[in-house]
Chains A and B, each alone.
Chain A
Amino acid sequence: MKRSAIFTLITLFVLIPLTLWFGMQLSGRWYYLTSTLIVVEIMIPFFFSFEERKPQARELAVIAVMSAIAAVSRMVVPIPNFKPIFAVIMISGIAFGPQTGFLVGAMSAFASNFFASQGPWTPWQMMAYGVAGLLAGTLARGRKMKKPLPLAVFGFVSVLLVIGPLLDLSSVFTMLTEITWAGVLSVFGYGLTVNVSQGISTAVTLLLVSKPLLQMLERIRVKYGILDQRSFEAGKGDAQ
Chain B
Amino acid sequence: MARLEIRDLSFAYPAHREINTLENVSLSIAQGEYVVLCGRSGSGKTTLLRHLKTTLTPHGVRSGEILYGGKPLCEISLREQTAKIGYVMQNPDDQAVTDKVRHELAFGLESLGCDQKTMRARVAEMACYFGIQGWFHKDVATLSGGQKQLLNLASVMALQPEILILDEPTSQLDPIAASDFLGTVKKISRDLGTTVIISEHRLEEIFPAADRAVVMEGGRIIADDNPRRIGSLLQRNGHPMFAAMPAPVRVFYAAGGEGESPLTVREGRTWLTDTVAAFPKVKSLPAEEKEKKAEPFALQLQDVWFRYEKNGKDILRGVELQLSAGELHAVVGGNGAGKSTMLRSICGICKAQRGKVRVFGKAVEKYGKALFDGCVSMLPQDPKSLFVKDTLWEDLREMTDDEAEILRTAKLCCVEELLDAHPYDLSGGEQQRAALAKALLTKPKLLLLDEPTKGIDSFFKETLAAIFSRLCADGVTILMVSHDVEFCAKHAGSVSMFFDGQILTTDTPRRFFGSNSFYTTAANRMSRHVFDYAVTAEDVAALCRANREERA
A interface residue numbers (CB < 8 A to B): 212, 215, 219, 225, 240
Can you list, as one digit per residue, whether each of B358-390 has a CB less than 8 Å from chain A (1) or not (0)? Answer: 000000000000000000000000000000011
7 contacts between A and B (CB under 8 A): A212-B389, A212-B390, A215-B390, A219-B422, A225-B59, A240-B54, A240-B55
Name the CB-closest residue of B to A64.
Answer: B97
Q: Give the size range of B's interface with the partner.
A: under 10
B interface residue numbers (CB < 8 A to A): 54-55, 59, 389-390, 422
Name the CB-closest residue of A to B388.
Answer: A212
Contacting residues, chain A, for B422 (C-beta < 8 A):
219
Name the CB-closest residue of B to A225.
Answer: B59
Contacting residues, chain B, for A240 (C-beta < 8 A):
54-55
Contacting residues, chain B, for A225 (C-beta < 8 A):
59
Contacting residues, chain B, for A215 (C-beta < 8 A):
390
Contacting residues, chain A, for B54 (C-beta < 8 A):
240
Q: How far is the CB of A178 from chain B (nearest CB, A)?
A: 43
A212 and B390 CA atoms in complex are apart in Å by: 8
Contacting residues, chain A, for B390 (C-beta < 8 A):
212, 215
A219 and B389 CA atoms in complex are apart in Å by: 13
Name the CB-closest residue of A to B425.
Answer: A223
Q: How far is the CB of B417 from chain A (nearest CB, A)?
A: 20
Q: How far is the CB of B15 from chain A (nearest CB, A)?
A: 9
Name, among A212, A215, A225, A240, the residue most crowded by chain B CB atoms within 10 Å (CB to CB): A240
A225 and B59 CA atoms in complex are apart in Å by: 9
Name the CB-closest residue of A to B389.
Answer: A212
Q: How far is the CB of A226 from chain B (nearest CB, A)?
A: 11
Name the CB-closest residue of B to A220.
Answer: B424
A215 and B54 CA atoms in complex are apart in Å by: 29
Name the CB-closest residue of B to A212.
Answer: B390
7 interchain residue pairs of minimum CB distance: A240-B55, A215-B390, A225-B59, A212-B390, A219-B422, A240-B54, A212-B389
Q: How far is the CB of B85 from chain A (nearest CB, A)?
A: 15
A225 and B60 CA atoms in complex are apart in Å by: 12
A219 and B387 CA atoms in complex are apart in Å by: 15
Contacting residues, chain A, for B59 (C-beta < 8 A):
225
Q: How far is the CB of A155 from chain B (nearest CB, A)?
A: 22
Contacting residues, chain B, for A212 (C-beta < 8 A):
389-390
A212 and B388 CA atoms in complex are apart in Å by: 9
Contacting residues, chain A, for B55 (C-beta < 8 A):
240
Name the CB-closest residue of A to B111.
Answer: A57
A12 and B289 CA atoms in complex are apart in Å by: 86
Q: How far is the CB of B181 from chain A (nearest CB, A)?
A: 24
A99 and B389 CA atoms in complex are apart in Å by: 29
A225 and B13 CA atoms in complex are apart in Å by: 13
Contacting residues, chain A, for B389 (C-beta < 8 A):
212
Q: How far is the CB of A50 from chain B (nearest CB, A)?
A: 18
Contacting residues, chain B, for A219 (C-beta < 8 A):
422
Name the CB-closest residue of A to B59.
Answer: A225
Q: How far is the CB of A213 from chain B (nearest CB, A)?
A: 11
Name the CB-closest residue of A to B78.
Answer: A240
A215 and B394 CA atoms in complex are apart in Å by: 14
Name, among B54, B55, B390, the residue most crowded by chain A CB atoms within 10 Å (CB to CB): B390
Q: How far is the CB of A167 from chain B (nearest CB, A)?
A: 27
Q: How far is the CB of A65 from chain B (nearest CB, A)?
A: 10
Name the CB-closest residue of A to B56.
Answer: A240
A206 and B462 CA atoms in complex are apart in Å by: 44
Q: How far is the CB of B429 from chain A (nearest CB, A)?
A: 20
A225 and B390 CA atoms in complex are apart in Å by: 19
Q: How far is the CB of B59 from chain A (nearest CB, A)?
A: 7
A240 and B422 CA atoms in complex are apart in Å by: 25
Q: How far is the CB of A230 from chain B (nearest CB, A)?
A: 19
Name the CB-closest residue of B to A61.
Answer: B97
Q: How far is the CB of A217 from chain B (nearest CB, A)?
A: 13
Name the CB-closest residue of A to B94.
Answer: A61
Q: How far is the CB of A113 from chain B (nearest CB, A)?
A: 15
Q: How far is the CB of A115 from chain B (nearest CB, A)?
A: 11
Q: How far is the CB of A68 from chain B (nearest CB, A)?
A: 11
Name the CB-closest residue of B to A240.
Answer: B55
Q: How far is the CB of A64 from chain B (nearest CB, A)?
A: 9
Q: How far is the CB of B361 from chain A (nearest CB, A)?
A: 33
Name the CB-closest residue of B to A219.
Answer: B422
Name the CB-closest residue of B to A216.
Answer: B390
A191 and B389 CA atoms in complex are apart in Å by: 37
Name, among B54, B55, B59, the residue most crowded by chain A CB atoms within 10 Å (CB to CB): B59
Name the CB-closest residue of A to B57.
Answer: A240
Name the CB-closest residue of B to A224.
Answer: B59
A212 and B422 CA atoms in complex are apart in Å by: 13
Q: How far is the CB of B342 from chain A (nearest CB, A)?
A: 25
